[in-house]
Structure 1
């Protein structure tokens, strides 16, 4: 399925965004889901999705017209308040067979049924903006590979954190040396430069000019990474 998804996502038009990921199925076992968003005429969207919807027999087909607000909050139920979290991520240009094997293996061995592994597609108009036009420079056709561990009990912290780190290590040969800044945690200060890439020095200069005392430091901090 992931190999089909790779080819389908690469060929989709600007109006279509296609994410994929492993999450808990109805019985708690991991399933692969594909989430789509079409921004255009409904008839054209139906045609664009025909190859995907005719590939195999899904457990459920929930594709339907909805508002943008409903689309934005569609995943909220999977991340309820009160759970414990440890995340990692990186950009993935290709779903090589080795990367697929790693993702499938770790999805099957995750220590918590709440944990998810996501592939968030970046394509279309978003990749045609010059790298220097915004703080975010990574304007290529790719996926944000999200490793989203969540669990209930503090005594399970070590087991879930180690699983996430092991997944990231196993995926590292396939990931780009870049990351989306919102995916970074408190233990990733060394990756702030990777988040801003070619724009890092410009951002550091802005920080030094307008916040020389680093007052606004409750973030993935450019000033700290620059020193």
Structure 2
């Protein structure tokens, strides 16, 4: 595949080299093939240049260069974007992966994280002070993409979404301006990045509100794939304190030492528990888990909070092939549970999974127009993902997830979680934001009228 490199303005490129402290990697350079890789191996793009920024000055220079050259600009944090928006052909990749500083203010209960941080970075820094904030369930996920899309995790019911815990952001806009945003200063941009995705600029720094979370009771409990188990899980969430984070998993039994070998590769459902309540109630939580159905494997114990976010890391390393769909629902209707059982029984691989996030509790105490994330009246967010070891197998299994998605539609909201959307879900962008879409469009028009930041689930100006 040819690239745009030969078409780059030599003077502008040399000016960029002089302006950045980080590295610029081009086709033909020894590290180019490694530098262009992203988490989802479905996306094998060849950028014209990759800028590995080390500070906000590098970001400003790169944004200016892409705008002046009229080149596609892909912004990469943790590189977990399933649609592959962290890379592009014949354009500029702005890689924030070297901007990974964190600073905790324990007295104010806040943490500031650079735009290239992963949740492992944030969890490590905050845990030293017995504090945490809502993050993802895979530690290598970048804070930027997850937070600007909304941000779900184990602490969602107790602490709200990641974007609900933002108190400040630094944003580089399309004209190269550096803006610090709070609810009082540049408030419209602050509102938009809390759920509106990467449409409005490059966030180089996130400041989060922290909560007292240190050790938790956590880990997986597995059951046979059975609708009655899922219905009891539905009751568990409805009846439990918000300190109980409990994700539902539907898939095939992984080869774990506490799961008997006869269950490896067989259809199962599981609950990944994260109890942040009092330790003297641990046994009550275990009893509730035992009451969901026949337990075929369990590893639930006291652990540091950061550990719960690493449980999936080895199962889904970088370099696998992914395709995703996502839905929201009010409750878990019986028809949806039937679809989980039917399609979960034909899950295509151990790495593939259906993951159901409860998003009630603290999420419901934020109004639908207080942030760009508008679905404050739903209770669950479902991620459907065939994950395979070859491109060919993933292409074949797209039909599986599309049938599954179609079966869930009668029981789902019109829109879904933007971070569970793949590249062919652009037609859902308006419904994903509902009544907030027009306001987002107006803010996009103000800060990015030329749609420089278009490699995302795009809100066109």
Report how many aligned residue pairs link the two structures: 224
Query: Structure 1 stretches (4+) deviating beyond 4 angstroms?
Result: none
Of 307, 330, 338, 1:101 maps to 338
Matched, 1:76 2:313: yes
Of 390, 393, 416, 1:153 maps to 390
Deviation (angstroms), 1:45: 4.2
Of 115, 120, 139, 2:376 maps to 139
Q: 1:171-190 alignment to 2 at 5 Å?
A: 171-190=408-427
- 1:63-86 alpha-carbon deviations (Å, 9 max, x no partner): 212222112222222212221111
1:220 maps to what in 2? 457
Structure 1 window deviating more from structure 2 (27-36 vs 53-62): it is 53-62
Q: 1:201-220 alignment to 2 at 5 Å?
A: 201-220=438-457
Question: C-alpha separation between the residues in 2 aligned to 1:74 and 1:207?
Answer: 37
SS at match of 1:120: strand
Question: C-alpha separation between the residues in 2 aligned to 1:94 and 1:121?
Answer: 9
8 A contact 1:112–1:160 mirrored in 2: no
SS at match of 2:386: strand
- 1:153-190 alpha-carbon deviations (Å, 9 max, x no partner): 22223320111111111111111112111111111111
Question: C-alpha separation between the residues in 1 aligned to 2:301 and 2:407?
Answer: 36
Question: C-alpha separation between the residues in 2 aligned to 1:155 and 1:186?
Answer: 18
Question: C-alpha separation between the residues in 2 aligned to 1:47 and 1:166?
Answer: 38
Matched, 1:23 2:260: no
SS at match of 1:31: strand
Q: Runs of 5+ in structure 2 lacking a partner? A: 1-228, 256-263
8 A contact 1:137–1:198 mirrored in 2: yes
Distance change (3 Å), C-alpha of 1:113 and 1:44: closer
Question: C-alpha separation between the residues in 2 aligned to 1:104 and 1:86?
Answer: 20
8 A contact 1:93–1:142 mirrored in 2: yes
8 A contact 2:372–2:436 mirrored in 1: yes
Q: 1:57-68 alignment to 2 at 5 Å?
A: 57-68=294-305
Distance change (3 Å), C-alpha of 1:125 and 1:24: same
Question: C-alpha separation between the residues in 2 aligned to 1:135 and 1:45?
Answer: 36
- What is the Cα-based RMSD across aligned positions, in Å? 1.7
- 1:99-126 alpha-carbon deviations (Å, 9 max, x no partner): 2121111111233343211111111111
8 A contact 1:99–1:174 mirrored in 2: yes
8 A contact 2:252–2:349 mirrored in 1: no
Distance change (3 Å), C-alpha of 1:194 and 1:67: farther
Distance change (3 Å), C-alpha of 1:113 and 1:71: closer
8 A contact 2:324–2:386 mirrored in 1: yes
8 A contact 1:116–1:149 mirrored in 2: yes
1:12 maps to what in 2? 240
Deviation (angstroms), 1:51: 2.0
Question: C-alpha separation between the residues in 1 aligned to 2:432 and 2:309?
Answer: 24
Q: 1:39-58 alignment to 2 at 5 Å?
A: 39-58=276-295
SS at match of 2:383: strand
Matched, 1:197 2:434: yes
Matched, 1:115 2:352: yes
2:99 maps to what in 1? none
